[in-house]
Structure formats: structure tokens, C-alpha cells
Amino acid sequence: MSASSPTYKALEQTAAGHEVDLDSLLEVAGWNDEGLMPAIAQQFDSGEVLMMAWMNRQTLEETLQTRRVCYWSRSRQKPWRKGESSGQIQMLHQAWLDCDGDTLLLKVDQTGPACHTGRRTCFYLALDDKSARVDTAPLMSAEALYGNS
Amino acid sequence: MSASSPTYKALEQTAAGHEVDLDSLLEVAGWNDEGLMPAIAQQFDSGEVLMMAWMNRQTLEETLQTRRVCYWSRSRQKPWRKGESSGQIQMLHQAWLDCDGDTLLLKVDQTGPACHTGRRTCFYLALDDKSARVDTAPLMSAEALYGNS
């Protein structure tokens, strides 16, 4: 949890309200070897954590400009505008970067299920020390989600 | 967002309440090349997303058994029992694994600040398309947090 650059270190004890240029902050952000960072999507009003996916600088900037959430698909190696095949889009309410500049939190308004299984959230396997339990059934089938794509 | 193994694929359309053995699920989970996966910590009652850190199988199993959250420190390459130097511990309320088996959500009860900057949450830099704004001041100084360690 140590700061990843002098820029982030300098912000640590800064008073609320201080502003910095986005470009200079993203220039020294903690992108991984693939130029990506994790982005957590949280429903803005209920607080439910919906999913985690990845963004590069390009898809983060697009998201901040258009307010429609766009991730980077690692499997397809291209921008992934959430909902482009399922219709279940995410609109951005507020984006946050963490203290080390290597993780994003996106407060979003999610239409319908966020999860490709048809569930509202991807986090549906409840763990204890011996077993995992399926906590919720799908809201809709994969066929209903992707049938027209 | 495609499932990472036949096990996860088979769970997708499973009814709520279905249980599987934890060991078999973790055996085929989506650990990265370093044997880690991201773990999101969320305050169980307020819903605030506090931080994101990493876990390997050993620290996840310890966390599920002891109910005190233990991450894997990538910088120190050893287990990191949250709060061992700051005193600001996390107790586990409920752990969740996502649909692909490659991200954890931990609902926790966090004592004091989760962030090494002395803030409640690590996500304190609010982004718009031009700038970033420091949203909150520290609750306590780094000296107060780590002075006795």
C-alpha cells in the first residue's frame, strides 16, 4: 500500500478540495505491465458491488468523457462498451482513483444484470471455510441476455 | 467475462442454495501468474468500498478460517494481516467469489481508516474528464497510524 510515485505521495496529506490535472496524474498512475488497472463497479444508490473489470488509459478517458462505462476486454483485446452485446449498459455517476493510483472505483447506474450469468452482480458465490454456496439465481437466462447479439 | 473453467461454467445457471466444496472451487480458480487475485474490501453495513488488495490461496483460507482479513503483500512478498502495523484491523463478515472465480469481494468491519494515508477509504481522488480532486482529508496522520510500529 505504498504510494507508487512522488505525485501520489505528495497528495497523501493534501486538504480536501485540492485539484490536480488529470493527464499528469494518469501519466504516473500504476498501470500494470499490460497498461491496465482494475476497475470496481458499484451501483451508485444501493452500494452493491456489481463487478470488477479492467481499463487502460484510453478506455478510462473515454468513460470520463462520454459517461458510458467502457472497459478493456483482455480476452478480445479491444475496448468493451459494457452492454454492447447484452444491452445492459452502465452509466457513470462518479469515478475515483485510489491512493496508489492503481485501482479505480466507478459508481455507476447499471441497467439490469451486470453479470454475464444474468445475475445482478458477479459476486454470487458465498464462501465459508469449507464450501461455497450459490447465493442468487439468474434474473434472466444467457439466451435472453445475448440471444439477439 | 467468460467463465474460467468448466466448474464455474457449470455453476452459472445453478439455483440459489446449491453448495460446492471450497477446495475444488479454489483449485480451478482464476489465480494470476503470481498465484494472486484481487480482493475488494467493502464495509459491511455502510456499503463503502474501502480498498483493493491481493490474496493468494493461503491468505484467503486463513481469512476464511480466522475471520480476520489477511492479504498477500506484493511489495513485501509475505502475508499481510491488515492492521498488524497500524492497528486498524478488518474482521470478515462475508466473502464472495465472482462468476469467473478471479475476483473476491470481502464484506468487512473496518476499524478506523482503511487507507495508509489515514483516510477511511483509499478511493479519495474524484476524477472528471479534466482533473482530479482530493475529496477527503485524512482522519489521522501517518505518524498517528504508524508511529508506534
> ipTM for the complex?
0.94
The pLDDT value given to residue B4: 56
Asked if the Cβ–Cβ distance from A20 to B132 is below 8 Å, we say yes
Q: Please determine, for residue A2, whether its predicted confidence score (pLDDT) is greater than 50.
A: no
Taking Cα atoms as reference points, which of B82, B53, B122 lies closest to residue A12?
A: B122
pLDDT tens across A13-71, in order?
888 999 999 999 999 999 999 999 999 999 999 999 999 999 999 999 999 999 999 99
Q: Are B98 and A49 in contact (CB under 8 A)?
A: no
| Facing residue for B128 by CB, picked from A40, A64, A98 | A64
| Rounded CA separation B145/B148 (Å) | 8
| Facing residue for B103 by CB, picked from A46, A52, A117 | A52
The pLDDT value given to residue A1: 38
Higher pLDDT, A129 or B3: A129
A&B contacts, CB < 8 Å: 188
Which residues face A97 on adjacent strands?
A104, B125
Helices (H), chain B: 6-11, 22-27, 57-66, 142-146
Reported pTM = 0.94
The one-letter amino acid at A137:
A
Interface test with A, best of B23, B50, B55, B117 (most A CBs within 10 A): B117
The A residues from 7 to 66 touching B (CB cutoff 8 Å) are 11-22, 25, 38, 40, 42, 46-49, 51-53, 61, 64-65
Which residues face B73 on adjacent strands?
B78
